[in-house]
Every structure is written in C-alpha cells, then in structure tokens.
Amino acid sequence: MTVDAYTTATAAAAALRRKEISSRELLDLHLTRIEQHNPALNAVITLDVDRARAEAARADDLAAKGDWLGPLHGLPMTVKDSFETAGMRTVCGDPALAAHVPEADALAVARLRAAGAVIFGKTNTPKQTLDHQTFNAVFGTTNNPWDLARVPGGSSGGSATALAAGFSPLELGSDIGGSIRVPAHCCGVFGHKPSWGIVPERGHIPGAPGSLHRRDVNVNGPLARSAEDLELALDIIAGPDELEAAGWRLDLPPARTRDLPSFRVAAWLDDPSCPSERAMLDVFEAGVASLRQAGAVIDTEARPPFSLSEALAMYYPLLVGALSPGNDNPMTHAAWIARDETRQRFRRQWAAFFERYDVLLAPSLFTSAFEHTQEGDGGTRVLHVDGVERSYRDCITWAAMAGAALLPATAMPVGVTAAGLPAGWQVIGPYLEDRTTLAFAAAASEVLGGFRRPPGY
C-alpha cells in the first residue's frame, strides 16, 4: 500500500510491520508536512527532531531483526502539550511553565512509547487547558484548517488540527468539559473520552507538574482519523497504574454489537435550553436519515429521565471543584459529598436508560467552529449563532451530560455544513462500555463517510 500523511495509524503501523515504509521515512513525511502547513495553523508548537530520528532509526534497526516493540512500533505521533514528556518542553500554554522540561513522561505517554510510538512533537493548548478555543501567551493562536478565521476548538485544539492537516496519525488529548469532543467536532476528526478512571492521569497538567492526585471528571484519551485508531490507542493507554495493578486489572466488556442495524440508538440532537445551530442540525438530520436507510433503528424522542438543564446544574459545581487548586477550592468536602450523591443518582438513571438503548447521539457543541473571539473571558464572551446572541458558557452544555456522569463518549464526524464546516456528534454509552461507543462510531462511519480532508490539504 502507499502510505501518505493521511494514512490511518492502524494502516501505517501495519505498513511499518510489513516493511513497506520505514519509521524514518514516515517521520520525515510528517515533518515535511508540518514545515509546509504549520506556519498558517500553529498546531505543532514544539519539535524534538534529533531524538525522534534516533528513535525512528532504532525502530528500523529492531524491525530488520524481527524484534518488535509493540503495536505502534516505529509510528511517529504528537501529543497535547498538557502531557509531560521527558526531556521535551511541556508548557500547557502557561507562561509560568515556559521553561518546564520534565524528567519523566506522563504515564499515558510512557505507555505509548513502550508500545513503539516515536513521539516527535507537542501540540498547542489554551493556558492550563481552560478554554473552548486554543490560544495562549506563549505560543499564540491555533487556527482551524477548514477556515483559518475559526477556532479548532479546545482544549485539544492543536491535537485535532494536527490530525486534520496530516501532521500526525495519532494524538493524545484530555477532556474535562469537552476538550477532546469539541475539537474533534470542529476539525472533523475522531476522539474518545474514556470512562472516568480507566486511563491514569499522572503527568497531566493541570494539576501542578509532578502532582499525583486524580481529578474528578477529567480523563485522558486519544484523537485520530478513524474509530479503529481510537480503540488501538485506548487499549495501550488504559489500565491501572503500578499501585493499583497489585490488585486489579482492567477488562472492558466487548461491544454490545458491531452490526449497525442491531444497535438500539437514541438521538438527542437539539434542545430548547441549548438550541443547535440550524446548519449543523441539518447535517445531523441527514446523518440520521442515512443511517436509517442503512438499517439503523434510531429513536429521536428517547431521553434519559432528566433535562439537559438539570444535567448541567449537576455537572457545573463538580467541574468548578475539579478545576480549583488547593486552598482556592471554593467547595467544602461536605458540599462535594452532597454533589456526588446527586451525581450517583444521575448515574443510575443513565444505567436504566442504557438497559433500553445501547448508545445516545448528541452534539458535542451547539455550533460548528466559530470565529476566533479572544476578548474577555469565558464569563463575558458571546457568540452569534443563527442571528441570536449566545453565552460562551453554552459551549460546555452538551459536553456536561457524559462528563460528570463519568460515561464514555466517542466523537465522530457526520458531515459538512452548507458553509463548509465539519459537524460531528458524540456517541455516549454506558459506563465502562467504551467498546460499544467505539463500535457504533466505526459502523456509522462506514455509512457516513468518516474523516474528510479539509480543502487545500
């Protein structure tokens, strides 16, 4: 097969194993691509070329001997700059960390390296990962390859842009309020927010460099250009850390089905409390029609037994508590326990819903990629959608449902709006049934077309 910048991670790894391309050649292919297109996009903000070439050469030497490191042997890739990387600067968009060079990899990064990945660069993120767009005072603004005047989403905006532009076949991101799902939607790629707790957080910023605590709601997960690649990466990074591994193993159940007509699908694509952009909703409705024509059974009236507003009201205090460091935390432990009790009741309502349905389709964001808007902050910015002024805070609403309930959600592209912007939904599933949402995304993509290259790339 011919390997190019848009070959999926799974296919590229297979080509490397068949020795149809070398790791050095694949690395140079992506570095050339970055040199050509990154100046306009500003997605990749740190490169470690010398080390990457040495690692690629070692991978090729081992391959020549028939010695394979793992499923990603020799595969070049980038990771979000919120993950600590040994010997490579990790800034997380924060001027206070501009000179931070970690001594050790984040655990998820270490697992990717152990599987054979050649990590050659870092991708941009907003300061401390706290925005739905991607800009900071250290590295500047990342642009959407579909329209440079628009955002790639945040906080894994550099990750999604790198994938859409062909800079990397695989990415590692994180998500506490849509930070994988929103960029995947804005840039037309795939992303997976795992069930909370299955991928260790150690080495992710925030918290502070070197911190060991596990933040509520936050997860680490992959972004890619196919659902198959997401599952490949998840199998590598998921599992207990060395302390937990003394007593337990992760054994995710198989997908409930992989046959599109066998899925019991609910779709919650619009809501009066957070209306979806009309052009995006058109894409979703066309997607539902295409899936139905292919045999899928989709119930567009089914809802869990709570409103979108109730889900947001449950989620937001937990988010604030998770984002507030140390003594600045405005929530007492007693208050958190009360909120967590509410959350546990929501989780059981979700579980009852998933006895009747396998997955729920919902927007990741209420609008397609919006124009850069950097004045003020998340509490003061406004967006104009369908002629209506909307609060910037609405960006978190649809992500909240799966977030605080700790559920897996796979973001997948559905189509392109009349304005030429990608539109994707999130596939939400039962806790720890990540393989079910990934399987649906794979099956649905066979009908809907999957990843599309941005014009000009």
Catalytic residue set: 80, 155, 179
Inter-residue contact 205 to 128 (CB < 8 Å): yes
Pairing label, strands 219-224, 170-175: antiparallel
Backbone dihedral region for residue 42 (phi beyond 0: left; psi -120 to 50: alpha; all else: beta): left
Q: Which helix (H) or strand (E) holds 177?
A: none
CB 91 within 8 A of CB 123: no
Of 82, 62, 86, 45, nearest to 168 by C-alpha is 45
Angle, vertex CA 111, rays to CA 76 and CA 157, nearest 5: 60
Going by C-alpha positions, the residue among 195, 115, 414 that lies closest to residue 287 is 414
Nearby residues of 9 by Cβ (< 8 Å), 6 or more positions away: 72, 75, 77, 169, 170, 224, 225, 226, 229, 232, 233
Instruction: Give the C-alpha separation, 440 to 444, whole Å.
Output: 6
Q: For 276, left (φ over 0), alpha (ψ -120 to 50), or beta?
A: beta
Interatomic CA distance for residues 225 and 189, integer angstroms: 5
CB 248 within 8 A of CB 28: no
Contact 195, 204 (CB under 8 A): no
Q: How many Cβ atoms are within 10 Å of 57's Cβ, its own excluded?
A: 16
Question: For residue 76, what are its two tokens?
Answer: 């070049």
Extract the tokens encoding 404. Answer: 């605080």
- CA neighbours closer than 13 Å in the CB half-sphere of residue 42: 18
Whether omega for the bond prior to residue 240 falls within 30 degrees of 0, making it cis, is no
Contact 23, 75 (CB under 8 A): yes
Residue 272 to residue 270: CA distance in whole angstroms = 7
